[in-house]
Amino acid sequence: MTKFVLKRLAHTVIVLLGVSVMVFFLIRYLPGDPLDVLFTQGSGDEVTAADDLAEGRRRFAEGIGMVGSLPSQYLNFLSEIVQGDLGTSIFRRIPVSTLIATTLPLTLQLAIAGQIVNILLSLPLGIVGALKQNSIWDRGGTAFALIGTAMPNFWQGIMLILIFAVWWPILPVSGVMDLGLSVEHITGIPIVDAFVTGNWPAFWSIIRHLILPAITLGASASLVRILRSSLLEVKHQDFMDAYRARGLRERSVTSHMMRNALPTTVVIFGIRLGAIIGGSVVVETVFAYQGMGWLLINAINQRDYPLIQGIVLTFTVFTVLANLLSDIVHGWLDPRVKVEAKT
């Protein structure tokens, strides 16, 4: 197991290196220049203080590492990453690591809430669909999962806003909590901090603000088909008939089915968790939820190269680690699986 984990971590380094190359060069070949945006907005003190516009532009470019050839700029960027420095945001003048540390807990909070919604929808639909195969409940659950998967997140979000904020204004549609409320910073995750400190007004406000974004992220019920297929595969095995022949209750038989179908579902769960973290970009933008996804969209609009690079690399790390964790749990749940063979 240790050898497997070390190999996967080494693969993670290679993946991060490849992603860093792609992000670094691709964003620089896109139309637009952060210096043009900055000079147009007139938001740089270095620019206005310079006697000559070209000289001020050159000095500012040197300050943010945008001088020399692209390969040399990339090597400088890579050396800074090795030292734990993701650079400084061009427009916010704040270290990228600080901005990520501020917004990452909000994205994790939303991703976990979305995955909880996904599980709460997928478990009953998948179990009922397997136990009552080809029934109206099975077909209805499968249709619901297909519709949820096919419908884009931004469309789901807009429809939820229309229903629960326009037609029936019962839920907030933007922000993390109501204005005027705040929580003491302990873990950085607002809902946890509010619960730990007993700040119940903020706690319930955070939950109300989480409902619509979490439903948008998790309504796809992406685990339904995987769980249903795994349960059906186990359901028709000989040892399940043996359980019934021994006189076990159907509830006990179902628990044995779940235990044998769980490993495959766990793998998909880990993959889906990484996808939800990445998919939060759209949802955070729709609901003005100021997490990393919302920050990434703003950075792209401003061509804030260091911030884009730092956020994309962070998303990549979480996606790879989620897949690694799911593989480890899979090997632990299913002794027949040799994790070393996956390498």
CA distance 231 to 236: 9
Structural contact between residues 202 and 183, judged by C-beta atoms closer than 8 angstroms: yes
CA dihedral 208, 210, 211, 213 (to 10 degrees): 140
Q: What is the pLDDT of residue 336?
A: 62
13-54 residue pLDDT tens: 888 888 888 888 888 777 766 766 666 554 444 444 444 566
- CB atoms closer than 10 angstroms to residue 17: 12
End-to-end CA distance of the chain: 11
pLDDT score at 47? 45
103 within 8 A of 292, measured Cβ to Cβ? yes
Return phi, psi of residue 88, to 5°: -125, 135
Domain 104-342 CATH assignment equals 1.10.3720.10:
yes
Contact between 280 and 295 under an 8 Å Cβ cutoff? The reply is no
DSSP H helices, the chain, are 2-29, 34-41, 45-49, 53-63, 70-82, 96-131, 136-150, 153-161, 190-197, 200-218, 224-235, 238-245, 250-286, 292-302, 305-333
Contacts of 224 (CB under 8 A, 6+ apart): 121, 122, 125, 126, 129, 141, 142, 144, 145
Check residue 206 and give its pLDDT: 92
pLDDT, tens only, 125-156: 888 887 787 888 888 877 887 787 778 888 88
Question: Which residues in the chain come in under a pLDDT of 50?
Answer: 42-51, 339-343
What are the angstrom distances between the C-alpha of 137 and each of 223, 235, 275? 16, 18, 28
Query: Rounded to an integer, what distance in angstroms lies between the CA atom of residue 235 and that of residue 137?
Result: 18
pTM above 0.95, yes or no: no
Quick one: how far is CA 340 from the chain centroid?
Answer: 28
Helix-helix angle 305-333:96-131, to 10 degrees: 40
Q: Three-state DSSP class for 95?
A: strand
Query: Which among 58, 204, 228 is positioned nearest to 142, based on CA atoms?
Result: 228
Residue 167 is given by DSSP the state I
What are the domain boundaries of the chain? 104-342
- What is the reported pLDDT for 321? 81
